[in-house]
Structure 1
Amino acid sequence: MKMPEGARCHAAVDIGASSGRVLAGWVDDGRIRLEEVHRFDNVQRRVDGHDCWDLEMLFQGVLDGLSVCAARGLAPESIGIDTWGCDFVLLDEAGAVVGDAVSYRDARTDGIFERADAALDPAWLYARTGTQRQPFNTVYQLMALRAEHPEQLERAERLLMIPDYLVWRLTGARLNEYTDASTTGMLDARTGEWDGAVLRAAGIPERLLATPVMPGTVIRHLAPQVRERTGFDARVVLPASHDTASAFLAVPAQGDRSVFLSSGTWSLMGVELAEPVLTPESRARNFTNEGGFERRYRYLKNIMGLWMIQSVRRELNGVAYVEGKEPAATAAARIGGAAHEPYGFGDLIELARQAEPFEARVDVDDAAFLAPDSMIEAIRDACAAAGQPVPATPGELMRTIYVSLADSYAASVEQLRALTGRDFEAIHITGGGSQDAYLNQLTADACGLPVLAGPVEGTGLGNLIVQMIAAGTFASVDEARAAIARSFPIQRFDPAR
């Protein structure tokens, strides 16, 4: 795709749990154009008994992608970075990394609630932060780190979330962006500032954290060594750095009668609100209040999502998620997976269709599915424990995951109706999962609502439109969403009658 002369180009660096990519975007005749210029792996490694992110690999992937932009004549005037939430990097005063960037799926927070609840009463914590109770919330990761390596917290001068760390590597600016900070369980949901009472109760030094900076803020230009490496200069602009916050921005919905679903490794299902919901009922349903662009609130449920499908595919194909861990092969052989490898996602969808009308369901949000040694065995064990049919083939296994996800989405829609007092007309799905027509139709049927699927590149688009608003290309989110609706196909799935 050729960018017209005079168009203003922007680069979105979008990094997920298994890969990252650099997208170039510009506006041409009122439509947003996208080009993926580079994709790179995001690999976890086993280091000192923990599953850790390879920070240098990530940063080199970013630099490589930006260099490709320049080589293709797409040198951007601004750059934004978004990633997953909750995980962090510690720096000392000299800028050296303290410890390792441990993954949120690591086992160090196993049993953390039993150890932490005496200091952080769950009801008290939710009333202040509005954060969904998850063992990998940053506040719990830090408490686990303090128990294992207190010397690291003593030595550290600043905590940076993963996108903050990459911004620092590009510019030298040490900051905490607001939307990603809102995933930590340490931010006051009403004020958008760090909650000192929570930090003190958790034993986390307040010096580690900087005043949260809002998305849309222009930080500074690339550092000299980065300019030399990439071959151009650009401003770094904070998008909504948490990937779900960016994905929600890209939903081409007008008004407040739509449910948003960002479908990827995680399924994030919710709505945009002007104020947080901090009621006991909301806490009981485990909804979270996360920050968004222009201080919107993403009121949503964090659902296990396509992680279960991705994990089964890796296991059937004999691939380990973390380097240094052996893949579980026994369970795959038990259900006949070894005869067909390698499986693609399309293969697994077709096998699920062929397994109809097999019916077994699991609670996809059960902690047993967060990071099991074998996802196949975890699903089979859950079915057996509930007295349901136990999947005996890859197709039955996939069918179980699919119908269980659709049921979870339907339950979340009903909970959203009750907690917000809203009725809904449609479900808008963005992200890679929006391409899964089988799941989209199951979701429409289970929820009794039409599903509008697309755009696929939701996260990268949300990243780009914040940069475009900062540049004056769009005057508002509504104007940008209207441009998204003109620019990208949306597929409709109506519930079966």
Structure 2
Amino acid sequence: MDSKYFIAFDLGATSGRTILGTLTGDKLTLEEVTRFPNQMLQLNGHFYWNIFSLYENLKKGLTAVAQKKVPVTSIGIDTWGVDFAFVNEEGALIGLPYAYRDPQTIGKKEEFFEKVMPADELYGKTGIQHMDFNSIFQLYTLKQRKDFGLTHASRLLFMPDALSYLLTGKMVTEYTIASTSQLLNPETRKLDEKLLEVLGVSKFLFADMVEPGAKVGMLTEDLCEELQIESVPVIAVAGHDTASAVAAVPAANKNFAYLSSGTWSLMGIETDGPVVNEKTTHYNITNEGGVDGTIRLLKNITGMWIVEQCLKKWHKEGTDYTYPQMVELAQAARPFACFINPDDPGFTNPQDMPKAICEYCARTGQNAPQTHGEFIRVIFESLALKYREVLDVFRELSVNPIEKLHIIGGGSRNKLLNQFTSNAIGLPVVAGPSEASSIGNIMLQAKAAGVVSTLQEMRNVISVNVEPDYFSPADAEVWNEAYQKYISIIKK
């Protein structure tokens, strides 16, 4: 039986990987070929992405795959959302893309609502959760500053589209990544020209919109000559990593919610169309684009970012922990000693995350954690309780009963947090695949190649190739009591 080979470039906010996917009949295997860091650059008070370093790492990935001497069918790229690069009229990138954690947009959302368009009107047009770093508020800020990049741009390309452009010389706007921008009408699946007008941004700044599975172009001749490789097509997969990840949920029906767990946690349900009403407005729920015409009705939650930043601080102080050590420390710590709201603005990008947690506890009248184990346990418990808070909203919104929670992405390997989550929500948790974005990316390429035809066919293949972990709820009374305390704390 012939095998098909696909390259997935899966780029997150802290690292990137080159994954070689091999599909032989219904058997899917993944091989991590390269892994590389992706760190925000801090320059003169701003935070940027080093897109040129990312491009060099893509080239290294292509070279490493070429050494395996397999016939590659296609290439796909997925990244985080909202951020973008500018291209001038000569086709050159202008500077470095701003990172979503750049402080320039702090307060701009509220200013936009006051001076340009009320929050409810903007939500009614886009169905997107209001967040400071959404592309619309980045553009609003850059327009005010008369930013050089925006002023001289011929094209705006979202991150996966910008990297595809560097590989192919062709420009597209992929639908799922564009849907994170808060510039799209969720009904028409096109840019809202009224929003662009009030921003003072031309619709011609954007390349043609394409759906997941469209061909962007072939690797350029110059690149192939430089790397001594054959030219293959680059496919616009679901460019938003969460869209690719959700496509990889091994679900047999629609009676589920999902949690894409990583630096960010994104919880939601899959719907056949946008849901924009009083409830979604009240709860600030987002309608992002999915595969095969679906909508990812979801909410962004600060995820493993908080513990990652604690680990970073402790590393600077000379202490490092493996995951088993973290679990051991957390299990030994006193349960429910205090609670934090993971989405508190104080945790967005502090210089010292443990200090930010202590300050939050002081502000809310709680005793702060003292040991590293207590910090870890507080973060995990608070995340699990936050997941319950958000899942209760989706229970109200879903037309289907939510019978289980599928946890996908790197955070699905965190068995302690998975058990805490099952306890908190009172539902079974199905954890895996951890490589959901890569698998979704690869299977969308397989769909473009005609190997599968529908989203459910993709999931059927995925389900026979992954072995998820299962968690059942326990200690209901204790966790219900803790949830009430958590709610009382976050309302202070």
Q: 1:353 aligns with which of 303, 321, 331?
A: 331
Q: Which residue of 1 aligns with 2:29?
A: 33
From 393, 404, 424, the counterpart of 1:426: 404
Cα displacement (A) at 1:351: 1.2
Distance 2:20 2:397 in 1: 39
Aligned to 1:265: 263
Partner of 1:83: 79
Classify 1:205/1:475 alpha carbon distance in 2 versus 1 (closer, same or farther; 3 Å). closer
Aligned partner of 2:291: which letter?
Answer: F
Equivalent residue in structure 2 for 1:377, among 339, 352, 355: 355
1:292 aligns with 2:270: no
Whichever residue aligns with residue 284 of structure 1, its letter is: H
Amino acid of the structure 1 residue aligned with 2:158: M
| 2:441 counterpart of 1:463 | yes
| Structure 2 CA distance for aligned equivalents of residues 73 and 410 of structure 1 | 48
Rounded to whole Å, the distance in 2 between the matches of 1:87 and 1:53 is: 9
For 1:312-365, what per-residue CA distance to the aligned partner results, in whole angstroms no more than 9, with x for missing partners?
1111101xxxxxxxxxxxxxxxxxxx4x61223332222111113242111111
Match of 2:166 among 163, 166, 169: 169
2:42 corresponds to 1:64: no
**Contact residue 358 and residue 396 of structure 1 kept, 8 A:** no
**Further displaced range: 443-452 or 200-209:** 200-209
> Helix, strand or coil: the match of 2:407?
strand
Shift of 1:372: 1.2
Match of 1:207 among 204, 207, 220: 204
Greater CA drift, 20-29 or 432-441: 20-29
2:243 is aligned with 1:245: yes
Counterpart of 2:479 in structure 1 is: none
Residue type of the alignment partner of 1:28? T
With structure 1 as the length reference, what TM-score do the two structures score?
Answer: 0.93
**Greater CA drift, 289-298 or 26-35:** 26-35
How many pairs were matched up? Answer: 473
Per-residue displacement from partner, 1:79-128 (whole Å, max 9, x unpaired)?
A: 00000001000111001222431100011111112321120211011101
User: Aligned equivalents of 1:408 and 1:88: distance in 2?
Assistant: 30
Asked if structure 1 preserves the Cα contact closer than 8 Å seen for 2:5 and 2:21, the reply is yes
| 1:120–1:198 Cα contact (<8 Å) kept | no
CA deviation profile, 1:119-175 (whole Å, cap 9, x unmatched):
021101110101111000001011111122344322111000010100100111111
Matches within 5 A, 1:98-497: 98-117=94-113, 118-230=115-227, 231-318=229-316, 338=317, 341-496=319-474
C-alpha separation in 1, matches of 2:216 and 2:107:
39
- The 4+ residue runs of structure 1 with deviation greater than 4 A are none
- Mapped to 1, the partners of 2:70 and 2:426 lie a distance apart of 44
1:282 maps to a residue whose letter is T
**Which segment drifts farther, 243-252 or 40-49?**
40-49
2:485 corresponds in structure 1 to none
Structure 2 counterpart of 1:11, which letter?
I
Per-residue Cα deviation, 1:369-401 (whole angstroms, up to 9, x for no partner)? 111121111111111111122111111111111
**Quick one: which amino acid aligns to residue 295 of structure 2?**
Y
Counterpart Cα distance in 1 of 2:365 and 2:445: 52
Q: Secondary structure at the match of 1:364?
A: coil
TM-superposed CA distance for 1:47, in Å, is 2.6
Question: Which consecutive unaligned segments of at least 5 residues does structure 1 have?
Answer: 319-337
Amino acid at match of 2:36: F
TM norm structure 2: 0.94
Q: Secondary structure at the match of 1:33?
A: strand
Within 2, Cα distance between the matches of 1:476 and 1:34? 21
**Counterpart of 2:441 in 1: which secondary structure?**
helix
Secondary structure of the 1:495 match is: coil
Per the TM alignment, residue 14 of structure 1 is displaced from its structure 2 partner at its CA by 0.4
In the TM superposition, residue 479 of structure 1 has moved relative to its aligned partner by 1.7
Deviation at 1:72, TM superposition (A): 1.6
Supply the distance in 1 between the matched residues of 2:67 and 2:2 (Cα, whole angstroms): 17
Residue identity in the other structure for 1:228: E
User: Which residue does the alignment assign to 1:73?
Assistant: 69
Same amino acid, percent of matched pairs: 38
SS at match of 1:236: strand
Asked whether the equivalents of residues 248 and 439 of structure 2 are also in contact (C-alpha less than 8 Å), the reply is yes
Aligned mates of 1:374, 1:251 — CA distance in 2:
35
RMSD (Å) for aligned C-alpha atoms: 1.4
Cα 1:400–1:290 change in 2 (3 A) is same
Q: Distance in 2 between matches of 1:244 and 1:142?
A: 23
Counterpart Cα distance in 2 of 1:343 and 1:107: 30
Equivalent-residue separation in structure 1 for 2:298 and 2:281 (angstroms): 12
Q: Residues of 2 paired with 1:351 and 1:75: CA distance?
A: 47
Post-superposition shift, 1:254? Answer: 1.7
The DSSP-based 3-state class of the residue aligned with 1:487 is: coil
Q: Cα 1:421–1:293, aligned 2, differ >3 Å: closer, same or farther?
A: closer
Question: Counterpart of 2:197 in 1: which secondary structure?
Answer: helix
CA, structure 1 residues 75+306, in 2 after alignment: closer, same or farther (shift >3 Å)? farther
Instruction: Give the letter for the 2:120 counterpart.
Output: A
Answer yes or no: is the 8 Å Cα contact 2:8–2:20 preserved in 1: yes
Contact 2:292 2:455 in 1 (8 A): no
Name the SS for the 1:362 alignment partner: coil
Structure 2: which 5+ residue stretches go unaligned? Answer: 476-492
Q: Following the alignment from structure 1 to structure 2, what is the Cα–Cα distance between the partners of residues 344 and 112? A: 39
Give the conservation status (yes or no) of the 8 Å contact 1:18–1:42.
yes
